Structure 1
Amino acid sequence: MDFSFIALAFGQIISFQTIAYALAALGLAVQFGFTGLLNFGQAGFMAVGGYAFAISTVKLGFPFWLSLLLTIAASVVFALILGVPTLRLRADYLAIVTIAAAEIVRYTVKTPELIPVTGGSDGINGSSSTFDALNPIPPGSYGFGVLTYDENDLWIIIVGWVFVVLVALFVRQLMRSPWGRIVKGIREDEDAVRSLGKNVFGYKMQALVLGGVLGGLAAVINIIPTSLQPDNYGTQTTFFLLTIILLGGATTVFGPLVGAIVFWVVLSLADGVLSLGVQYHFLPISSVQQGPVRFIIVGVALMLIVIFRPSGLVGKKREAFFA
């Protein structure tokens, strides 16, 4: 039997995919966990940011730093377009609007008329060129066994994790500031905050913009080692992110980082175990059923965590139940 999947699974701890989802989940935690905005459209922010970076880099030939600024600007504009008419909605209504907005973005970039710009269903390849040009690591292979990386993969992993940690520390300090106390108050009772003379809509918009920018930057990390594919930013991505923040702790800063690591390690381990079971006929399922079954396993694990530890793995119990 080949048990190399175990090493590959624990390799997810530092993978670029984990980095991207940790950063996007941190943005969603700002919106949902701290401010109480039930945003089901974080995948839309990732798509907007990813396309802004890929189009400016590949199609327009912009340098890396300018493309990064355009990514931030596109995420801010999308947040304003989405937030101005919707942030006065609450709970389920906001969730419906945001998930619809994310799907509109995904279907828009796939329309035939925009294929010369967005690449349609094929997406955009080659977004890594300007980032790889900044790589100071000498060419070669690094690591051992199945966990071997070339210089470009190692570069994005190092830069990605440094950036995620810096952003997490920034958000941590932000949530300890007066601004953070106000958005937490909005999460608990926005009418009470409004009665104190605070502009609730303004603070909600700021939280939406901040979380959206983090989602857009997460997409950049996700597409640099691979490519930009529109179907990677469907509703499944948003539900993965919600699972991650609930797993780690929606009302904590480092919860999304822990949740992203645990989520991808468990998902990869489940996939490897199921593959062995199908290959050696230990399980009464086919290879086609393997994909859905692994998500069932993750779903059951999430249910158990919600039941027995509603605050998440590193969450604070006193903030586990909020409006």
Structure 2
Amino acid sequence: MDWSRILTNVVGEAFAPTTAAYALAAIGLNIHFGLTGLLNMGQAGFMLLGAYGFAITATAGWPLWASLLTALAAAALFGLILGVPTLKLRGDYLAIVTIAAAEIVRLVGRSTSLTWLTGGNAGIAGDGFKESFQATSPLGDGRTQIGPFEYSNSLSNSWWVRIVAWVLVALALYLVWRWTRSPWGRVLKGVREDEDALRSLGKNVYSYKMQALVLGGLFGALAGIIYALPRAVQPDSMGRPMTFYVWTILLLGGAATVFGPVLGSILLWTILMFVTSFLREIVPDTVLRTEQIAMLGWVLVGLTLMLLVIFRPQGILGDKKELSINAH
């Protein structure tokens, strides 16, 4: 068994752009759910809008800063449109509405009538929307090897994407850490715990919910951009399963914690990589094909998460006291 190759794959997955993208999305969801108690089941919608906003404008030749602002503006507008009629809903009702809204975004994006803009079902592929980002790389052309890891310096799945992605994650962690210790963050926790008590103190609960929804959505938009840069903008890759993966990551690491989303993302993808790589080594092709091994890996990871939810529902870093979500 080639343990060296397996461990290289696992460690490489720990700092991959996909892992960073899911960590960013989970940080945004942590603002929604962990801090404010909003059951947002449509984080993939924010991610897809961010990716579309960036890719469409970058393909049209807009500068990088304009494409980033467009992506963030699209996510903020979606948050406002989604929040105005729905933030008075609670619990399961809000979850149903948000997952439906994310599906609307996906279905509109893959519509054949918008193929000229979004690429339809095929999405936006190629390097056209990546050029403005790649042009900012100070690493130059070619490839660089650091230990067992060798990637392109500036192209799609590159060191530059990894550096930018994890810098964004670190910045997001710092901001959330500051916010959770601010009066604003304490009000969000109050919304989660007891809305009526906050209203009796004269706080505008609706306004704080809207702020949390939009702010978490902005992190989701950034996550969508990072997720798309190594591959393409494909609407079906940012559907319901992606939202469930983000929720899994948040609950695995621990909701209402600062570092929980990052730990959850690293653990989920490294464990999945280890399980699938290990199974490919020991299970012959005549028994299970490669795609079947990948599915079995998800089954085993799912069973592990079920055990975690049963025996440690607050997650690895979480506190049971933080599970007191307002359910009125």
Q: Which residue of 1 aligns with 2:254?
A: 249
Determine the C-alpha separation between the residues in 2 that align with 1:68 and 1:287. Answer: 37
Q: Which residue of 2 aligns with 1:134?
A: 136
Determine the C-alpha separation between the residues in 2 that align with 1:320 and 1:310. Answer: 9
* Alignment match of 1:173 (pick from 173, 178, 191): 178
Q: Can you give the 5+ residue segments of structure 1 that lack an aligned partner in the other structure?
A: none
Alignment root-mean-square deviation, CA: 1.5
Please tell me whether the aligned partners of residues 278 and 287 of structure 1 are also in contact (alpha carbons under 8 angstroms): no
Q: Can you give the 5+ residue segments of structure 2 that lack an aligned partner in the other structure?
A: none
For residues 168-190 of structure 1, the C-alpha deviation after alignment (integer angstroms, 9 at most, x for no partner) is 11111011111100110111111
Q: Which residue of 2 aligns with 1:233?
A: 238
Determine the C-alpha separation between the residues in 2 that align with 1:139 and 1:212. Answer: 34
Per the TM alignment, residue 294 of structure 1 is displaced from its structure 2 partner at its CA by 1.5
Q: What is the TM-score with the length of structure 1 in the denominator? A: 0.95
For residues 78-108 of structure 1, the C-alpha deviation after alignment (integer angstroms, 9 at most, x for no partner) is 0011110111111111101110111111111
Per the TM alignment, residue 280 of structure 1 is displaced from its structure 2 partner at its CA by 6.2
The alpha-carbon distance between structure 1 residues 121 and 305, as it changes in their structure 2 partners (threshold 3 A), is same
* Alignment match of 2:268 (pick from 243, 263, 266): 263
Please tell me whether the aligned partners of residues 37 and 192 of structure 2 are also in contact (alpha carbons under 8 angstroms): yes
The alpha-carbon distance between structure 1 residues 85 and 290, as it changes in their structure 2 partners (threshold 3 A), is same
The alpha-carbon distance between structure 1 residues 288 and 156, as it changes in their structure 2 partners (threshold 3 A), is closer
Per the TM alignment, residue 20 of structure 1 is displaced from its structure 2 partner at its CA by 0.5
1:12 match: secondary structure: helix
2:283 match: secondary structure: helix
Corresponding position: 1:187 with 2:192? yes
**Identity %, equivalent residues:** 50
1:1-323 equivalences under 5 Å are: 1-3=1-3, 4-58=5-59, 60-125=60-125, 126=127, 127-144=129-146, 147-152=149-154, 153-279=158-284, 285-323=288-326
Determine the C-alpha separation between the residues in 2 that align with 1:291 and 1:161. Answer: 26
Determine the C-alpha separation between the residues in 2 that align with 1:296 and 1:173. Answer: 37
Per the TM alignment, residue 307 of structure 1 is displaced from its structure 2 partner at its CA by 2.1
Task: Give, as a single letter, the amino acid of the residue that structure 2 aligns with 1:156.
Answer: V
Per the TM alignment, residue 145 of structure 1 is displaced from its structure 2 partner at its CA by 6.7
Task: Give, as a single letter, the amino acid of the residue that structure 2 aligns with 1:310.
Answer: P
Task: Give, as a single letter, the amino acid of the residue that structure 2 aligns with 1:104.
Answer: I
For residues 180-226 of structure 1, the C-alpha deviation after alignment (integer angstroms, 9 at most, x for no partner) is 00110111111111111111111000000000010001111111122
Please tell me whether the aligned partners of residues 254 and 316 of structure 2 are also in contact (alpha carbons under 8 angstroms): yes
Please tell me whether the aligned partners of residues 193 and 324 of structure 2 are also in contact (alpha carbons under 8 angstroms): no
Q: Number of aligned pairs?
A: 320
Determine the C-alpha separation between the residues in 1 that align with 2:37 and 2:282. Answer: 42
For residues 104-155 of structure 1, the C-alpha deviation after alignment (integer angstroms, 9 at most, x for no partner) is 1111111111001000111112221001101111333223575211111111
Bigger mean CA deviation after superposition, 313-322 or 16-25: 313-322
For residues 260-299 of structure 1, the C-alpha deviation after alignment (integer angstroms, 9 at most, x for no partner) is 1001101111111222233266xx6444432322221111
Q: What is the TM-score with the length of structure 2 in the denominator? A: 0.93
Please tell me whether the aligned partners of residues 40 and 95 of structure 1 are also in contact (alpha carbons under 8 angstroms): yes
Per the TM alignment, residue 61 of structure 1 is displaced from its structure 2 partner at its CA by 0.9
Please tell me whether the aligned partners of residues 49 and 217 of structure 1 are also in contact (alpha carbons under 8 angstroms): yes
Please tell me whether the aligned partners of residues 249 and 313 of structure 1 are also in contact (alpha carbons under 8 angstroms): yes
Please tell me whether the aligned partners of residues 6 and 272 of structure 1 are also in contact (alpha carbons under 8 angstroms): no
